[in-house]
Structure 1
Amino acid sequence: MGAVGTVDDYLATLDSADAAAIGRLYDLARAVVPDAEQGLGYGMPALTYRGRPLLSVMRAKRHIGLYPFSPEAIAAVAPQLAGVETAKGTIRVAPDAPLPEDAVRALVAARKAQIDR
């Protein structure tokens, strides 16, 4: 997969089920941060806010990864992530077991608050 562009460009490369699942996560993030823009975060297509990466969502071989670019944002919503695989800066979900919308909104809100500080 060569250079990656915007979120929309990335979604266009996915099969319809993955594009729908990942697009839904971006839609939830945009609902929390309406002025988020498409850009890059650490080379990945991402939503950015005030020039900083807010959230990237990428399809991996066995999971969908959410990257809020912040271990603190993940820690802030840890109670809502019970039973979900997390790593320092990543939340991994099975494509057929999406994160609850409230958890996604809380994650994005935590990252936005961090950028606003």
Structure 2
Amino acid sequence: MGTAVITYLSTIDGADRAALERVYKIAREIVPEAQEGTSYGMAALIYRGKGLIATVRAKKFLALYPYSGAVVAANLNVLANFETTTGSIHYSAEHQLPDIALQSIVTARRAEIDAKTR
């Protein structure tokens, strides 16, 4: 198992780090077989050789990347109070993604990977 996520998180302090750690913790609970690695230059959890999820600190926000525009679009109903782009969701330590949203996103991405790798 790689250490890309652990190494990345060690560069972040305070509330931002706790918010990022929370995302990875929830993702690991849903997909315990995911491994640490990198995808598109970001520390990420990798599942079946594909990027499952990454979350990083940007200049003005924290961003969640489920590596799928379809997954973001399919979860807009639980992301109404968050800024989204085609492939990312923006949040902050003060305004974190609800557990239900994270669970739905990670579950949808896992299902998408499973469907493509059968």
Tell me if TM exceeds 0.5: yes
Contact 2:62 2:91 in 1 (8 A): yes
Between the aligned partners of 1:20 and 1:95, the Cα distance in structure 2 is 8
Between the aligned partners of 2:89 and 2:12, the Cα distance in structure 1 is 20
Between the aligned partners of 1:53 and 1:15, the Cα distance in structure 2 is 24
Matching residue of 1:94: 92
Matching residue of 1:43: 41
Taking structure 2 as the reference length, the TM-score comes to 0.92
Structure 2: gaps of 5 or more residues: none
Q: Percent identity over the alignment? A: 44
Structure 1: gaps of 5 or more residues: none
AA matched with 1:96: E
Where 2:27 maps in the other structure, the secondary structure is helix
Matching residue of 1:104: 102
Where 1:48 maps in the other structure, the secondary structure is strand
State how many pairs are aligned. Answer: 113
Between the aligned partners of 2:84 and 2:19, the Cα distance in structure 1 is 18
The superposition leaves residues 40-72 of structure 1 with CA deviations (integer Å, 9 ceiling, x where unpaired) of: 111110000001000000001111000000001
Matching residue of 2:15: 17
Between the aligned partners of 2:69 and 2:37, the Cα distance in structure 1 is 20
1:7 alignment partner, one of 5, 8, 12:
5
Where 2:95 maps in the other structure, the secondary structure is coil
AA matched with 1:40: T
List structure 1 segments (4+ residues) > 3 angstroms apart after TM superposition. Answer: none
